[in-house]
């Protein structure tokens, strides 16, 4: 899997380095601009978030495109590789991208946010004073990025099973159905809301991550549900790659 990861990294390195370079140049320009035009710091913050979002979307799209290309590549026939290793290599690449983007976001915001007049830096400090909340937010972000990638890859695999010009729409439809169905089941099991076991409170003590006893089981159930969904998606992809997708 590590060899596949290295291969995917090298194949996507040009787009990755170009994206990161442009992103850093634009962020540097926004930081400098804020030093001269403080009256538009709200616009500058919005542009900063937009630039990061576009950069993350480009890298994410590239991973999905790599998976789609790999499904149709004759290299899979010449050099047979276990599907789970192909999937794992791309998931690892996604995690690395998320780690790098997170580090860049933190560095840029450490410089930019203190310059923004309406940003409450005390509130941000209170957030980082709660290690459990920081860790939970970070892990949740990685899990969300990986989950979305796996579901999109599953939709791509489903579309690849059909020999038709409308495979793109089949993939989009499959993804919408997967997300809607899993979300509906989750709501039936655990109720509405992002998380049944997470509460955030603010005040003099700052942020706190609370998992009360009566909600801890709900949180554990959601985690177990997400893990089961992930395993089922991986199983479905490996089955389709082995049995249904023709090169």
Q: Could you give the CA distance from residue 52 to residue 60 in angstroms, rounded to a whole number? A: 12
CA dihedral 49, 50, 52, 57 (to 10 degrees): 140
- Judgement on whether residues 102 and 135 belong to the same structural domain of the protein: no
- Judgement on whether residues 217 and 132 belong to the same structural domain of the protein: yes
- Judgement on whether residues 94 and 139 belong to the same structural domain of the protein: no
Identify the domain boundary among 61, 84, 118: 118
- Judgement on whether residues 104 and 124 belong to the same structural domain of the protein: no
- Judgement on whether residues 92 and 147 belong to the same structural domain of the protein: no
- Judgement on whether residues 77 and 191 belong to the same structural domain of the protein: no
pLDDT at 20: 94
* Tokens linked to 52: 């990061």
- Show the low-confidence residues of the chain (pLDDT under 70): 38, 74-80, 117, 119-120, 192-219, 244, 246-247
If one counts the domains in the chain, the total is: 2
- Judgement on whether residues 88 and 158 belong to the same structural domain of the protein: no
Instruction: Report pLDDT digits (tens) over 163-189.
Output: 878 888 999 999 999 999 988 888 888
- Judgement on whether residues 144 and 80 belong to the same structural domain of the protein: no
Instruction: Report pLDDT digits (tens) over 125-160.
Output: 777 777 777 888 888 889 999 999 999 999 999 998
Structural domain harbouring 87: 1-118
pLDDT at 116: 74
- Judgement on whether residues 113 and 159 belong to the same structural domain of the protein: no
* DSSP state string for 193-244: SS-TT-EEE-STT--EEE--HHHHHHHHHHHHHHHHHHHHHHHHHHHIIIII
């Amino acid at each position: 899997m590590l060899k596949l990861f290295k291969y995917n990294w090298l194949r996507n390195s040009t787009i990755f380095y170009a994206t990161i370079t442009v992103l850093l140049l634009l962020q540097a320009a926004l930081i400098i601009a804020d030093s001269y035009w403080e009256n538009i710091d709200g616009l500058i913050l919005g542009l900063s978030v937009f630039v990061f979002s576009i950069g993350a979307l480009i890298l994410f799209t590239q991973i999905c495109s790599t998976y789609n290309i790999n499904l149709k590549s004759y290299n899979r026939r010449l050099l047979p590789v276990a599907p789970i290793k192909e999937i794992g290599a791309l998931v690892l690449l996604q995690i690395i991208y998320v780690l790098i983007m997170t580090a860049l976001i933190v560095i840029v915001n450490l410089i930019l946010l203190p310059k923004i007049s309406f940003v409450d830096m005390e509130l941000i400090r209170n957030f980082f004073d709660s290690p459990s909340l920081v860790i939970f937010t970070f892990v949740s972000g990685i899990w969300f990025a990986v989950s979305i990638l796996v579901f999109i890859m599953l939709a791509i695999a489903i579309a690849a099973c059909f020999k038709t010009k409308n495979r793109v729409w089949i993939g989009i439809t499959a993804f919408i159905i997967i997300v809607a169905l899993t979300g509906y089941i989750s709501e039936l099991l655990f109720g509405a809301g992002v998380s049944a076991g997470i509460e955030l409170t603010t005040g003099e003590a700052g942020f706190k991550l609370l998992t009360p006893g009566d909600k801890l089981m709900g949180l554990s159930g959601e985690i177990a549900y997400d893990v089961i969904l992930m395993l089922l998606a991986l199983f479905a992809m490996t089955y389709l790659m082995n049995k249904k997708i023709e090169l």
